[in-house]
Structure 1
């Protein structure tokens, strides 16, 4: 048996899957101040009557990291940056930054010595200001981490007990500002996330659940619970990832669809192209910072079934026309469910589209607005639904402009002979059955509401398989290689390659495959290593004096997002 649990802004959904089919579902209110309680309540509800020994896999999709960042509850981090030449440090705009002298070039060769006196003075200042955490990031530090390691050593001497993260260990891909942002955020949330992991493990132990436990990541893959603590920021945006994988699981293999996940608080948008979720080429954006975190190309808009409905006066003061406004705030559940304000859910209940909540309460909620506008309850309900669905449809159209700029989308478009495949709009979430048909109508598309759409996110969490990426850089002249995700620089002679000077692309790809296999083994997902695929393989000859003196290889491999084999998708479509 498999369990998937997704924490949403309004409810926490859970699903129990047995023999590839949904056996039971559960929904409990989300407690924003106590996500653990919501997770465990949903777990208890969906597993009632099930022996712990029957459980084979438990997957959580959690907003704990997203909430910490959004609510400003992360720990302050002192950033020690070694940017080298080429950029104005003042333009980085990172908080609590200390700029240090020193530089290495793109191949990892030191071109400016670290100023150790300056480092010691900065360390003393950090101690004086009371920082308990620091992150050290040098430009091209992933090609030569010597400066980062030396700065760490001085910090440890000067500020005992300071918790330190290094950029080359956290985010080793090129693009210095994104590496800074990723390392900063990883450092800021790591301790709190580890506490969260410990609390989950304790709660599962009390319930005698010994099944493997996983956390869903932003790229739609899973990681074992304990291993996720090594890369906590990768668990951001797991909600939109869960809805995307849920739509993938609940629709036919190879289809292309716009995914519209309508919850109580927000609506999440994503895109599936020929059975492959579209990735954000620039990485996830957190707060105002772009990062190196792999994530689906998604957007969240503040419109949902519980969005507050109010009457506003048109911006044109001369007309004085009154209009319906939906969102962006949510004051609680729908009025028909005991909430304080009218919502789209109430309008759907009045129109008979939904059976959720008390009809009399829904009419009461809408009656006040109808009186103010001089319209009937039915007319007002239709206006509310039209407004909400128009906002969602407009966001989809706007999102398409961004999606079409993604390299993967452009490649897909070239390979497609037709565009009709994108006419499916798949509805996921509690508000899907009431609103998705009208959203699809405004997009001139076909609405698809699969079985169990209300808990599609939880299904996505339950059946998502692990993902893993590896980016390898090889420099044959320097006879060394580095893996962006690990940050270590290793000599090539340790790989067993016999003639380094004659290394070919096939050799680099074989090395990448072996390193990814070892990395998958470290994360406890080695059974999926055989499904890894090469997504990029480039070679550059280095010429000096009219002769080739070496080669640079860059290879990217991944275990892509997908579904575990236990899920019987054909029977769910």
Structure 2
């Protein structure tokens, strides 16, 4: 049995997939604990949440203190003494007194620690962490080495973002584990990750809802090339699918690249709970009147035009002309955005898809489909997703050193590059197995990058340096097909 939960801005959606699909909606006002109590502890649970995204939107960068270990001659904000070479050797130790001096009287909300080559040797970052943890709790400290990739500026930026949301993610993990000890999070690419890995790199969860919608729409329709339009309570998301998978792109936040990939999506800041004042507003002020709210919304406008959503009589504070103008404005705006993608098929999801998709498709001059369970397609997508990994691997034959995302693993002498790749592949599979991935989902390991070169000294080869990126691609679990 597969259970998926998507915690949206208005409702928490639940999908339970066994011999059939059953979906439910729970208002967020009822609380996540109430939603968790409605599901069985049997089977696999996957959760998608917008809480880390909301924390990024509302948080403040100035609240984060960054400590960097760039090495001699490199200038970065928060730089301290200490250096790791590109081969993972400690060239210069940290100065513990320098770190203590920084921390005394520190009033930052959280601390981000990043070393230039910590993904080759994490020792200095951990030493700084040990000192900082005397002043701050673990939930307030983010390290950079679990991110895995070398790009130092992007890794610093990602670590600062991780520091901002780590406390929120830790609190969410505790809340869920009180009811369901074993579960997965859905990542921004549509794969699943363990709570432990999410806590090491919380930005993996950034904006996961478009990913769950993409997986859910494909699972429900099997349409490989289309545009998914998810009409939620707060926003409307457009997510293109190509060959059955969403398109991934590097996340850029606050003008800087991060080390995180996410599903490509266009977000329109209008949804079913967008309130109506003099016009349709790009924000919500609570639930629609038809669901007990105080201000009229797009959902209420649809009721005035003939829909029967919730307590439709409470929507009649709107006059017909205003309601019609608001709905037509929304339809024209969304259809204009849809036309930019030139889709042959438009898949509608979200609780208003049944009421709006046909008009959007007509205006965009395309074919529209609203599948069964469309209102909770995001939860369906969470339920059927599979464990995914992207692992950055560094191998140094002279140092007998092998690291995966900054963590040391047993080195093994190998005959050739093919033998080394085979060993690294099995290490990645073992990580996935420990996180609960079934064998069928980890058979295919993608090689995203591979580079190997000789180190020559005194006219002879003294070492071979190999860098590779291996991945278990996100998507739908074989067990769910």
Same fold per TM (> 0.5)?
Answer: yes
CA contact 1:15–1:462 (8 Å) conserved in 2? yes
Question: Is structure 2 residue 300 aligned with structure 1 residue 300?
Answer: no
Equivalent position of 1:390 in the other structure: 332
1:220 CA displacement = 1.1
Instruction: Note if contact 2:447-2:470 (Cα within 8 Å) is conserved in structure 1.
Output: yes
**Structure 1 counterpart of 2:357:** 436
Determine if the alignment matches structure 1 residue 488 to structure 2 residue 407. Answer: yes
CA drift of 1:224 comes to 4.0
**CA shift digits 1:420-478 (9 cap, x unpaired):** 8x422211111212222333344433222111101111111111121122122334465
What is the Cα deviation at residue 357 of structure 1?
Answer: 3.4
Corresponding residue for residue 555 of structure 1: 468
Given that residues 70 and 287 in structure 1 are in contact (C-alpha distance below 8 angstroms), is that contact kept between their aligned partners in structure 2?
no
Q: Is the 8 A contact 1:425 1:446 kept in 2?
A: yes
Contact 2:94 2:124 in 1 (8 A): no
Q: Does 1:2 align with 2:2?
A: yes
1:10: how far off? 1.1
> Which residue of 2 is the match for residue 67 of structure 1?
54
CA contact (8 A) 2:112 2:142 kept: yes
Structure 1 gaps of 5+ residues are 32-36, 90-96, 205-209, 312-324, 368-376, 401-419, 569-573
Q: Secondary structure at the match of 1:391?
A: helix
Task: Please state whether the residue corresponding to 1:525 is helix, strand or coil.
Answer: coil
- Aligned residues of 1:221 and 1:466 also touching (Cα < 8 A): yes
Instruction: Report what 2:70 is aligned to.
Output: 83
> 5 Å matches for 1:529-568?
529-540=442-453, 551-567=464-480
Write the distance in 1 (CA, Å) between the matches of 2:461 and 2:280: 64
Mapping for residues 405-420 of structure 1, pairs under 5 Å? none
- Are the equivalent residues in 1 in contact too, given 2:142–2:166 (CA < 8 A)? no
1:153 is displaced (CA, Å) by 5.6
Task: Give the secondary-structure state (helix, strand or coil) at the position aligned to 2:204.
Answer: helix
What SS is found at the alignment partner of 2:293? coil
State the alpha-carbon separation in 1 of the partners of residues 225 and 75 from structure 2: 43
Cα deviations across residues 64-101 of structure 1 (Å, max 9, x unaligned)? Answer: 32333333399954321123478753xxxxxxx52224
The 8 Å contact of residues 63 and 239 in structure 1, kept in 2 or not, is answered as yes
- Computing the radius of gyration from Cα coordinates, the structure with the larger value is 1
Q: 1:29 aligns with which of 22, 27, 30?
A: 27
Deviation string, structure 1 residues 505-535 (Cα, Å, up to 9, x no partner): x234213202202211332325332232223
Structure 1 residues 195-233: Cα deviation after superposition (integer angstroms, max 9, x where no partner): 3322222234xxxxx8x4322222212234566444433
Within the alignment, does 1:461 sit opposite 2:373 as a pair?
no
Q: How does 1:284-363 map to 2 (within 5 A)?
A: 284-286=251-253, 290-311=257-278, 325-352=279-306, 354-363=307-316
C-alpha separation in 1, matches of 2:375 and 2:142: 42
Structure with bigger strand share is 2
Could you say which residue in structure 2 is the equivalent of 1:98?
A: 78
Asked if the contact 2:55/2:164 (under 8 Å) is kept, the reply is no
Shift of 1:9: 0.7
CA distance in 2, matches of 1:154, 1:274: 49
SS in 1 for 2:261: coil
The SS at the match of 2:309 is coil
**1:42 matched to 2:30:** no
Tell me what 1:509 maps to.
421
Residues 165 and 335 of structure 1: is their aligned pair in 2 closer, same or farther, counting only changes over 3 Å?
Answer: closer
Compared with structure 1, are the counterparts of its residues 388 and 546 closer, same or farther at alpha carbon in structure 2 (3 Å cutoff)?
farther
Distance 1:477 1:382 in 2: 73
Match of 1:186 among 141, 162, 176: 162
Tell me, yes or no, if the aligned pair for 1:385 and 1:435 is still in contact at 8 Å: no
- Cα distance 1:142–1:227, how it changes in 2: closer, same or farther (>3 A)? closer
Alignment partner, residue 178 of structure 2? 202
Q: Give the whole-Å Cα distance in 2 for the aligned partners of 1:14 and 1:538.
A: 44
CA distance in 1, matches of 2:190, 2:109: 33
Match of 2:214 among 218, 237, 244: 244
Cα 1:428–1:144 shift into 2, 3 Å = same
Q: Is the 8 A contact 1:167 1:180 kept in 2?
A: no
Q: How many residues align?
A: 479
TM-score, normalised relative to structure 1: 0.74
Residues 544 and 248 (structure 1 numbering): CA distance in 2 closer, same or farther, change over 3 Å? Answer: farther
Offset of residue 263 of structure 1: 0.5
Distance 1:292 1:306, change over 3 A: same
Conservation of the 8 A alpha-carbon contact between 1:333 and 1:339: yes
**Which blocks of at least 5 consecutive residues in structure 2 are unaligned?**
none
Helix, strand or coil at the partner of 2:378: helix
Q: TM-score, normalised by structure 2?
A: 0.86
**One of 116, 121, 141 as aligned partner of 2:98:** 121
User: Matched residues in 2 for 1:516 and 1:546: separation?
Assistant: 35
Q: Aligned to 1:237, what secondary structure does the other structure show?
A: coil
Alpha-carbon distance in 2 for matches of 1:362, 1:153: 58
Alignment partners' CA distance in 2, 1:263 and 1:552: 49
Q: Which residue matches 1:177?
A: 153
Deviation at 1:129, TM superposition (A): 2.1
Change in 2 beyond 3 A, CA 1:226/1:146:
closer
Query: What CA RMSD, in Å, does the superposition of the two structures yield over aligned residues?
Result: 3.3
Could you tell me how far 1:298 is from its partner in structure 2? 2.7
